[in-house]
Structure 1
Amino acid sequence: MAIDDLLDEHEQSERVRGWLRKNGVSIIAGVAIAIGGIAGWQWWQKQQGNELANANVQYQVVLKQLQDKKLDEAAKGVKALEGGKSSLYADLAAMQLAKAQVDAGKNDEALATLRGIQAEPEFKTAIDQRIARLLIAGGKADEAIKQLGSASDSASLEIHGDALMAAGKRDEARGQYEKALKTLDVAAPQRRLLEIKVMDAGGTVTDPAESA
């Protein structure tokens, strides 16, 4: 091997050692951070899994309390779920509590329960509909309409029509029912009831097979 080659190798090795001396600490720190990050991620996943499991257990407890008609205890259970990370179980439990309160004739309490839900997007429409129905039952048709906002799904349109009928606005109600009917699947089980509402509001119903 030539002297020049040895010098080149020696020079290269010195450069490598110098680079390691300069950057070694940061490399080790980077590796440590990466390992710590993996461990942290695994810990976080475990914590999330534990929280979900605990929330599920608490949710089942609430359901049992509702089944046993222990509404006050169930309400406390719902509050406990609201303080956790799993808002999904909190929303579901609150909706079940509100249903039980309605069944028990406690509409005002049910309304308060529903309004207290910090709803996930997938539940907001259903919750707004339930609130609107309770408002109609309580003689607050105008508030029910405001609660529904600009929702254009079949159920919301139908409830909007119910609110208008309750307010004595028969023609406007018929318009909402007809819109709801157009957005409803022909085979939907609730279609027959909606057709009756259209006719009660002074409208006529065409057989979907004839209009096809």
Structure 2
Amino acid sequence: MELYDTEEQQVEAIKDWWKENGKAVIFGAVIGLGGLFGWRYYQDTTIAAQEAASASYTKAIESLAATGAQAETQVQSFIEANGDSEYSVLAALQLAKVQVEANKLDDAISQLQWAKDATQDQALLAVINFRLARLQAEQGNFDSAIAQLANITDSGWTGRVEELKGDILLRKGDAEGAYAAYTEAQQAGDATEVLKMKLDDLAK
């Protein structure tokens, strides 16, 4: 570092440095402040969009709860308008439930397939795959249902998955496979109380 003998030399050095670098400093400051304000604007805009989506979701679900399948068009419009939001996935799950109650299984399956493709949330994916498997089994697509269950790898679902797998295998006529699945389900921490009855029936 250069040493300066007098304050005047230091002042002159600063002036020279500023003359050479001043524009770059100002430009950097402008860019920095612009980025800061831009980021804050982005955050504010994102929060506002999330709040609006939340309010719309609540309104759509309340309508669905009050009128059932009559609100299908309204909820579908919400899903399409908010396709990049997890709210749309949650709305699709609720709509599929109502469609099942109205015995519109094909529509419910389509809704769940869309939800599956639209989310990366592992907890939601487990729910979606499980519901899809039940509906596919209900339609007699047993192999597709079992394949769907194989997508659920969370150990917390083991009991429910194996029990449903046992139910499906039993409907296919595979009592031995069903018994094996029920046995595995019984060893899991999330097994249901009716499972023992199913095992007892097969053991007779």
With normalisation by structure 1, the TM-score equals: 0.81
Q: Which residue of 1 aligns with 2:166?
A: 161
Superposed structure 1 runs of 4+ greater than 6 Å apart? none
Residue 111 (structure 1) shift? 0.9
Q: What's the CA shift string for 1:86-108, capped at 9, x where partnerless?
A: 52211111101111111111111
Q: 1:59 to 1:53 in 2, by over 3 A?
A: same
Could you tell me which amino acid in structure 2 is paired with residue 141 of structure 1?
Answer: F
Residue 134 (structure 1) shift? 0.4
Could you tell me which amino acid in structure 2 is paired with residue 168 of structure 1?
Answer: G
Q: Which residue of 2 aligns with 1:197?
A: 198
Structure 2 counterparts to residues 1-212 of structure 1, below 5 A: 5-6=5-6, 9-71=7-69, 73-84=71-82, 87-117=85-115, 118-121=118-121, 122-149=123-150, 151-152=152-153, 153=157, 154-185=159-190, 191-202=192-203
Alpha-carbon distance in structure 1 between the residues aligned to 2:73 and 2:162: 31
Q: Which residue of 2 aligns with 1:209?
A: none
Considering only aligned residues, what root-mean-square deviation do their CA atoms show, in Å? 2.2
Q: 1:87 to 1:158 in 2, by over 3 A?
A: farther
Residue 76 (structure 1) shift? 4.2
Q: What's the CA shift string for 1:99-125, capped at 9, x where partnerless?
A: 111111111111111111112322001
Could you tell me which amino acid in structure 2 is paired with residue 159 of structure 1?
Answer: L
Alpha-carbon distance in structure 2 between the residues aligned to 1:116 and 1:86: 12
Q: 1:11 to 1:17 in 2, by over 3 A?
A: same
Considering only CA atoms, is the larger Rg found in Structure 1 or Structure 2?
Answer: 1
Residue 199 (structure 1) shift? 2.2
Could you tell me which amino acid in structure 1 is paired with residue 177 of structure 2?
Answer: E
Q: What's the CA shift string for 1:139-180, capped at 9, x where partnerless?
A: 111110111125352222222222211111111111112212
Aligned length: 194
Moved more, 58-67 or 9-18: 9-18
Structure 1: gaps spanning 5 or more residues: 204-212
Residue 82 (structure 1) shift? 4.1
Q: 1:90 to 1:150 in 2, by over 3 A?
A: closer
Alpha-carbon distance in structure 1 between the residues aligned to 2:141 and 2:88: 27
With normalisation by structure 2, the TM-score equals: 0.84
2:203 is paired with a residue whose SS is coil
Alpha-carbon distance in structure 2 between the residues aligned to 1:87 and 1:137: 30
Could you tell me which amino acid in structure 2 is paired with residue 42 of structure 1?
Answer: R
Q: What's the CA shift string for 1:59-99, capped at 9, x where partnerless?
A: 12221221233535434433433443752211111101111
Alpha-carbon distance in structure 2 between the residues aligned to 1:162 and 1:106: 22
Structure 2: gaps spanning 5 or more residues: none
Alpha-carbon distance in structure 1 between the residues aligned to 2:110 and 2:83: 22
Could you tell me which amino acid in structure 2 is paired with residue 46 of structure 1?
Answer: D
